[in-house]
């Protein structure tokens, strides 16, 4: 007896708005030494079918609370109409804990990974992209929590068929690709005014570091200056030479 082949369906109507159909899955190594610099040991990948938006969240464990927090970060102020995932109890509890922010949770058939193929494929792409980012940067694997987020951000802002996932979700145009700095490149940056760098009074105000990605607490935009029509502050993850002792 054989299972029926899982072939790609044709004529399927895609969702039209962000949050209409979302899928998610964990990437779990299960071995000691997988922890990154931020002590996270698992990866939670969330994907939106309407906008092709991909988010990668390093999480400390495969429990429901980190997954629920990641789904809330992914959704923002948008209500997720439908979430599709495998039948793991952690994700089922995470979706239930979201409450009114999620309408429907559909699970795949247990024991048949082909019924969760989209989420599995997005996890695979994220792992490959993270691995390539680390390889080209020449950084060890412990930097993977930063590399996976950098990969997801660059994927969401790239132009594909004349449009980007960023524009399809936010409807505010495209980001300048010249501002997408490669992961792990060397940079000169000005440290925080509250940081104690013990630099000489006449030393340069900038110090060398390694670029690890972009981080914004509220809104995302690129560049050291705020573009017209946007607000909020933009920050970058920077590792200084002092961080390695």
| Domain with residues 22-170, CATH architecture | 2-Layer Sandwich (3.30)
Extract the tokens encoding 231: 């607000």
pLDDT value of residue 43: 94
Mean pLDDT, rounded, for 3-24: 79
What pLDDT, in 10s, does the model give residues 60-105? 988 999 999 999 999 998 999 999 999 999 999 999 998 877 789 9
DSSP H or E stretch at residue 71: helix 64-75
How far apart (Å, rounded) are the C-alpha atoms in residues 142 and 148? 11
Where along the chain do its domains lie? 22-170, 177-244
CB 83, CB 104: distance < 8 Å? yes
CB 103, CB 79: distance < 8 Å? yes
Which 3 state secondary structure label does DSSP give 137? helix
């Amino acid at each position: 007896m054989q299972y029926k082949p899982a072939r790609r369906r044709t004529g399927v109507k895609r969702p039209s708005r962000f949050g209409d159909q979302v899928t998610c899955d964990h990437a779990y190594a299960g071995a000691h030494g997988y922890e990154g610099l931020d002590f996270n040991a698992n990866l939670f990948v969330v994907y939106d079918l309407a906008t092709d938006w991909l988010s990668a969240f390093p999480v400390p464990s495969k429990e429901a609370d980190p997954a629920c927090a990641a789904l809330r970060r992914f959704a923002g102020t948008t209500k997720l109409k439908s979430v599709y995932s495998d039948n793991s109890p952690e994700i089922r509890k995470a979706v239930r804990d979201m409450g009114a922010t999620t309408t429907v949770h559909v699970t795949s058939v247990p024991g048949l990974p082909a019924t969760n193929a989209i989420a599995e494929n997005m996890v695979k792409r994220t792992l490959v992209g993270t691995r390539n980012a680390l390889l080209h940067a020449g950084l060890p694997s412990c930097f993977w929590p930063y590399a996976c987020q950098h990969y997801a951000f660059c994927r969401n802002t790239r132009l594909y068929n004349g449009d980007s996932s960023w524009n399809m979700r936010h409807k505010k145009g495209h980001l300048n690709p010249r501002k997408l700095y490669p992961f792990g490149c060397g940079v000169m940056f000005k440290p925080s005014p509250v940081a104690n760098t013990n630099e000489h009074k006449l030393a340069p105000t900038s110090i060398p570091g390694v670029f690890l990605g972009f981080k914004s607490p509220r809104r995302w935009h690129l560049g050291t200056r705020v573009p017209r029509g946007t607000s909020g502050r933009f920050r970058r993850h920077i590792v200084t030479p002092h961080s390695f002792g």
